[in-house]
A and B are shown apart, each in its own frame.
Chain A
Amino acid sequence: MIDFVGKKNVFIILSIILVAASLVSIFTKGFYLGVEFLGGSEIILSVNDVVDEAYVRNVIKNLAPEFENARVTQIRSIDDPKDITKFSIVVSPLDEKGKLRVYSGEEKDMVSKKIVEAFKEKGKVANVIGFNETSGYAAKEIKNLTWKAVVFTLLAILLYITLRFQFVFGVGAIVALIHDVIITLGFFSFFNYELNVAAIAAVLTLIGYSLNDTIVVYDRIRENLKRARGKSIENIVNDSINQVIKRTINTSLTTFIVIFVLLLFSGNSIKPFAFGMTIGTVVGTYSSLYIASPVVIKWIKR
């Protein structure tokens, strides 16, 4: 038997520190946003040869700091000849304050020239045929998920758990959920990890994972509460956690394995997803053991 409940204050303090640190980082430092969110400048490049994205990425990566994380996609118009490949290169140049800035007309000429020269060095003829400002499409889509939607989702979960368990359990699950999301986002902010569409998918997945994990622990507490009337609530919670700990460890470990392998070996734009899920799995497991359950104890006692 491991004493999960006895040291609960230590872990609650640890969580408060982590959440506070995450919030500070999110609000002062902010996020390193991917081009899908930030938008930026879109350069349409045409190369008189058949090359792929990896080649282009390699040629342009050292031109300027923002080119290192450029999104390179091949595009083709209906009437383009076969021996020409065209690419859309999106870069998000930042100013000293880390805000997105727009290239001036002169800069556009300079950047275009640099790209053409870089290709010339490799013996390829390239032309910049378009230079646009582009908005981040994902920002708009996420904007549509307003606070109202978030609040309604949480209320629905609260209502369901209240009906199936007790009100305090609903509160505990939601506290754990918010805790997990804030800390995961905090990691993105603190480690300057790119927040892109894939990372948002990871955060959404985390919501499902965290809820699932918390409910399994709660279910045991509910079952044991019915059986052992005389026992103290601390003991019941502690017994319950001990009964499901093997399952929690095995589940978390299996999910963690898939995600961690993905984090090690996946390509650049998928890494934020794997990173978010890795943090999310650890935090989600921790919170259902040390946050969601202790919260319930405190409330039931009163």
Chain B
Amino acid sequence: MKENKVRGVITLIVIALAFVSLLWPTSNGYRGFASLFNRIRLGLDISGGARIEYKVDIDKSVENPSQIAEDVWTVLRNRLDMANYTEAVVKQTFREENTFIIVEIPGATDTARAEQLIGSTGILWFGQVVDETSTNPKIDPELTNEAKREKAEWLLDREGKKWYLVKKEIANISSLKLVSPKIVEAIPQVDRNNVAGYVVTFKMDKAYVDVFKRITEKLYVPEELLNQGGIAYKQALKKRLAIVLDNRVQFAGFVTAKITDGSALIKGNFTLDEAKQLAAILKSGALPARLEKVSSGWVAPLLGKDIIEASIKAGIVGVVIVLVYMIVFYGVMGIVADIALLYNTFLLLGILAVTGSILTLPGIAGIILTIGTTVDGNIIIYERIKEELRKGSSVKAAISTAFSKSFITLFDANLTTIIAGLFLYYFGTGTVKGFAITLIIGVLGSLFVNLIVSRFFLELFSGGIKVKSVGKGGAKA
């Protein structure tokens, strides 16, 4: 049987890859059986993680402070979801009239890494650059005075080399302010005019298009003027647009076209990483309030170590009972089902390891469902085989017919589950999203295992099936 050889080879390659991905050396230190889990990132509920507490710095004059705290929560949640940290926990706490936000990130024991994931904790705003210098303005009274005169402040640039004098109110018009605008799209792109550099394009939400249009009208400088030099150029230097984040000027440049639709391009000689990071911060939303770090550290497993140990033991006992049950009920075919079950479990763990997905309790729920669907797929096939045997088919023919008839059932049953999973992933955040990922991976895996792996082993063991079925059912061979 040539086909079955192909199945066998695929079966071996896939499981070998899963084990390679599980056992690839890593710095994590479990030994023995547990070393299989070294490369799987575990969720907060199972392994704990980094914990950082921020105070939300809300201006006292603000009308609706709780709404701002709420918006901060949403922005942080989105940022973590976008970085694939769906299992991170973001919660609000309150004391003495202040709002705090606690972010707990699984796996990361290094809080510096966690802070990097959360990204900027400052407010994003657009301003007007009126001057620049490379000497520290704090030690030069002339420059300090200039800042007072212009009602602007000196801010460092991204690299910490240059100082820009930036005004929040463009052209001193109080309505021309653009603080924490909502940005719907931001993409890092290769700069066509500069081989090594990257640019970021972005698009603002409808609500900010008008203000942005008026700002670009005020700061508009025709391109030919930039090449002329002289007084006109000096005038133009006072009309540059700045994007400020974390009190640093991320970008300062000329507006060479009036922007009427809210989409613009930022050119700042970015490296790919810088462009990606800026795009991520723009897209994931600008924080409406500054966050001040209060404390950082780690948190132990949310479920408690004792609880997890008891539950894992219970889970293993349950699975062993299922393995025995299948052999008692289906004999040789039961052994194949057991192989399929273990195969799919390791396959799922391998995929989790290689994709860097995070395993949490809801994820384990997904795995249990996967065990269910794998066993179910096998049972569906076996019952079909038995049916065919009762009709008098030979074992080989029975296996073949059973698989072609079961395919449609398995396909429809699993695809509806995957559709449900995709919608949960698309609409959900946090926990729900994490669950959807394991569910989708697991169901796809069980389909593969049922159609390829189980079939390979069934054909391999078909001799064993024959003897038993004939003895019991009395079918003609």
- Chain A residues packing against B (C-beta within 8 Å): 39, 42, 52-54, 57, 71-78, 80, 88, 130-138, 140-142, 144-146, 148-149, 152-153, 156-157, 160-161, 164-165, 173, 197-198, 200-202, 204-205, 207-209, 211-212, 215-216, 218-220, 223, 243-244, 246-247, 250-251, 253-255, 257-262, 264-270, 273, 277
Contact = CB atoms under 8 A, between A and B. Distances in A.
Q: 3 shortest A-B CB distances, which residue pairs?
A: A267-B307, A149-B427, A201-B362
Interface stretch (B18-26, B143-151, B311-319): B311-319
A209 B431 contact: no
Contact of B361 (A72, A197, A261): A197
18 contacts: A73-B301, A74-B299, A74-B300, A132-B93, A161-B416, A198-B362, A201-B361, A205-B369, A208-B373, A211-B413, A219-B413, A243-B387, A250-B379, A253-B325, A254-B326, A255-B375, A258-B321, A265-B317
Contact of B305 (A52, A211, A257, A259): A52
B91 interface: yes
Given A152-B423, A204-B362, A205-B368, A54 B413 contact: no
Nearest to A263: B314
A6 B329 CA distance: 30
Describe A's contact surface by its main secondary structure: helix
B427 A152 contact: yes
A128 to B, nearest CB: 13
B308 A201 contact: no
B417 interface: yes
B432 interface: yes
B380 interface: yes
B292 interface: no
Given A77-B296, A204-B362, A216 B431 contact: no
Interface string B30-61: 00000000000000010010010000000000
A112 to B, nearest CB: 13
A211 B373 CA distance: 11
Contact of A149 (B306, B319, B423): B423
B304 A201 contact: no
A149 B303 contact: no
| Overall SS of chain B's interface | helix
Contact of A265 (B45, B313, B412): B313
A53 B416 contact: no
B376 interface: yes
A157 B420 contact: yes
Contacts of B315: 258, 261-262, 266
Given A54-B306, A76-B297, A246-B383, A204 B424 contact: yes
B420 A269 contact: no
Contacts of A75: 51, 297-300
A134 to B, nearest CB: 4
A89 to B, nearest CB: 12
Contacts of B310: 265-267
B431 A197 contact: yes
A165 B361 CA distance: 35
B57 to A, nearest CB: 17
Given A250-B379, A253-B325, A266 B307 contact: yes
B408 interface: yes
B259 interface: no
Nearest to B372: A255
B94 A132 contact: yes
Contacts of B93: 42, 132-135
Contacts of B428: 141, 144-145, 149
A261 B413 CA distance: 27
Contacts of B429: 141, 144
A76 B111 CA distance: 12
Contacts of B297: 75-78, 80
B373 A212 contact: yes
Contact of A204 (B48, B100, B405, B435): B435
Contacts of A208: 369, 373, 417, 420-421, 439, 443
Contact of A261 (B318, B417, B424): B318
Nearest to B341: A254
Interface string B224-238: 000000000000000
Contact of A262 (B302, B311, B362): B311
B301 A157 contact: no
Interface string B347-391: 000000000000001100110110111011001100100010000
A145 B426 CA distance: 10
Contact of B322 (A72, A244, A258): A258
Contact of B408 (A77, A219, A258): A219
B54 to A, nearest CB: 13
B376 A212 contact: yes
Interface string B284-303: 00000000000111111111
A173 B322 CA distance: 28
A71 B302 CA distance: 8
Contacts of A207: 420
B95 interface: yes
A201 B325 CA distance: 26
A186 to B, nearest CB: 20
Contacts of A200: 362, 431-432
A264 B318 CA distance: 11
Given A135-B93, A204-B365, A208-B421, 14 more contacts: A77-B295, A77-B296, A78-B297, A88-B299, A133-B93, A141-B428, A141-B429, A149-B428, A157-B419, A197-B45, A200-B432, A211-B413, A254-B372, A269-B307
B89 interface: yes
Given A71-B302, A204-B365, A254 B322 contact: yes
Nearest to A136: B91
Interface in B388-418: 405, 408-409, 412-417
A103 to B, nearest CB: 12
A269 B311 CA distance: 10
Most A-side CB within 10 Å, residue of B77, B301, B423: B423
B120 interface: no
A267 B383 contact: no
B430 interface: yes
A72 B311 contact: no
A216 B420 contact: no
A292 to B, nearest CB: 13
A77 B294 CA distance: 10
A140 to B, nearest CB: 7
A142 B93 CA distance: 18
A273 B416 contact: no
B220 interface: no
Contacts of A257: 318, 321-322, 325
B317 A201 contact: no
Nearest to B434: A201
